[in-house]
Chains A and B, each alone.
Chain A
Amino acid sequence: MQFKDILQVVLSSCKNQFYMSIGRATFQFCVLAQPIVYGFILGMMYLDQSNEAFTIYVLMGSGIVSFWSSICFSSASDINRERFYGTLENIFVAPGRFEWIILGKVIGNTIWGVISMMISACFVLIFFNKSIVVSNIGLLIIGLILMVVSFVAIAFMLAGLFTLSRSARVLMNCMEHPIYILCGVVFPVEILPGFIQPISYILSPTWAVKVLRLAVVGGPLNDVRYYLIGLVSVTVIYIVISALSFKLIDKRARVNATLGVY
């Protein structure tokens, strides 16, 4: 496939996903209303805390939680939805390659995820009217961009793996909330029991939160480097796993008959 073909497939899939997703009432709630709920709950919890803590765990935390929710929901649900629509088989064998189609869908959902994050941030800023602290705006922008890329990589990897399982919806529900606990999104990872913490560090949201935290409170350059390398490394691992798994998926999904509803 030439680059222009890949671009055609990814853009078309992205556009299709963008319009189709928002047509569903559940997704509308997930993207438009849920960020406000998350922002409100976390805002009330951290109202009396420092401006730094409020910025990290309310402004960014609720945004990340909303973003993750829409990404996680979409990557698993969309595969399941395509399976029940009967379109999974059509896109699976399309010459445009399944992995590029899925990437387009993930990007389509990511755009909504970013919008969701922005809704959450706007609500928190307007409703609570607290002072927001950012000590390194450059690092904040880099951190946010890397976090979005990393979430795309996770969703891409999960969507591929969900193709192999007809229990995708159950898996998705099992995955959504543990991330809030494990990744330090709404409280620091350090207060988790020691034996759980290694799991946190194989999840890219943990590293993204660390980078964003440094952008807010500041910190030594070595820490910045360390967390950025951590975030990039974990993201690269996700991309490598995705690339390898999509090679296997073409065979395994046909052997295990997981493409249709039989």
Chain B
Amino acid sequence: MESVIIVKDLVRQYETTEGIIKKTKKTVNALNGISFEVKKGEIFGLLGPNGAGKTTTIKVLTTLLSPSSGTAKVLGFDAFGDEKLIRPRINFVFGGERSLYWRLSAEDNLKYFADLYLIPRSEQNALIDSLLKRVGLDDVKLRKVESYSKGMKQRLQVARALLNNPEVVFLDEPTIGLDPVGARDLRKIIQEIAALGTTVLLTTHYMQEAEELCDRIAMINEGKMIALNTVDGLKSMIDQPTKLRVPSERFTSAELLKLKEHPSVDKIIQLDKSNFIDIHSGEADTVLSKIVHEYGRDKMRGIQILDVNLEDVYIELVGGSHAI
């Protein structure tokens, strides 16, 4: 299948200054040579901690930033140099509530952007009505955006991004700050966009969201690619398919060290800034039996047996835990 996005050895540096009176220039490497390709019609996820370079990657690909070196191609064209050929065929949504005119209504926002995207006036009304319906804002289209909830603003941004029927849509943390229902609604819309054949490049901090939506995922950290695979492929990087998640206050260090010596326990990790400890094991039932046998049934309270998920892979690769 053809690749609609090709990123090769992409580097982006920023110049910044330190100090107030005596300023010194400093170069920050936001991207340190990442490479990946996105196939046509794919939902491709970019995961990584804050400052990993996800937004910078999207900004380079949406022709908003120049690369310092390397290749960034969209639909076969260079993102820096052929931007005029790319821009009419793509669109983007950046997370948060910005990128809209709050003093205008939803309808007026879309009419304005439709004009800027050179959509003929004769087609605009029908298009805008259908988009507002698709994102569930048709009954509030005349209300000013400033009165919208965060979720409504995000959905309006998605409608704006679909005005030009883009072949590729870039979504940078589209569900950030949304309540569970709002996030679910938006995920449904993203799936509908992809079902129509639009390629989606998505960044998110929510592992469950990435797992639910993405065909393939690239994990980046400090501007470098650290993994690229399907969700199942990434999960297979963890040796054991199951784990026990136990409340940390229920076990002493000595008890945990004793558990670690059990042959079916692969590793025990303390999640940073969390009240839980994960015991990775291929035989979770056996470990649970041992806990009951050694410490009684009371110790079982609050323990969950979980399948390994994307969060475990993320924590393993990016950090955020330490072994006991």
Give the B-binding residues of A (Cβ under 8 A).
Answer: 1, 5, 8-9, 11-13, 16, 19-20, 23, 84-87, 89-96, 101, 250-251, 254-255, 257, 259-260, 262
Contacts and interface: CB of A to CB of B under 8 A. Distances in A.
Contacts of A84: 98
Contact of B115 (A12, A89, A257, A262): A12
Nearest to B98: A86
B118 interface: yes
Contacts of B96: 86
A87 B109 CA distance: 11
14 contacts: A9-B116, A11-B115, A12-B116, A16-B112, A85-B101, A86-B100, A92-B64, A93-B64, A95-B116, A95-B164, A96-B115, A257-B14, A260-B59, A262-B14
A214 to B, nearest CB: 42
A254 B62 contact: no
Given A8-B121, A85-B98, A94-B87, 17 more contacts: A1-B118, A9-B116, A12-B112, A20-B101, A20-B103, A86-B96, A87-B100, A89-B94, A94-B116, A94-B117, A101-B116, A251-B66, A254-B64, A254-B66, A255-B66, A259-B64, A262-B14
Contact of B101 (A5, A16, A96, A101): A16
Contacts of A9: 115-116, 118
A87 B101 contact: yes
Nearest to B111: A12
A93 B66 contact: no
B115 A95 contact: no
A250 B83 contact: yes
B88 interface: yes
Contacts of A85: 98-102
Contacts of A19: 103-104
Contacts of A12: 111-112, 115-116
Which 6 pairs show the lowest CB-CB distances between chains A and B?
A86-B98, A12-B115, A94-B116, A96-B116, A86-B99, A254-B66
Contact of A93 (B14, B83, B94, B112): B83
Interface of B: 14, 59, 62-66, 80, 83, 87-88, 94, 96, 98-104, 108, 111-113, 115-118, 121, 160, 164
Contact of A254 (B80, B103, B118, B164): B80
Nearest to B103: A23
B87 A93 contact: yes
A94 B113 contact: yes
B62 to A, nearest CB: 7
Given A12-B116, A94-B117, A96-B116, A254 B101 contact: no
Contacts of A5: 118
Nearest to B81: A251
A94 B160 CA distance: 12
B167 to A, nearest CB: 14
A260 B64 contact: yes
Contacts of A94: 87, 113, 116-117
B116 A20 contact: no
Contacts of A16: 101, 104, 108, 112
Contacts of A8: 115, 118, 121
A16 B102 CA distance: 12
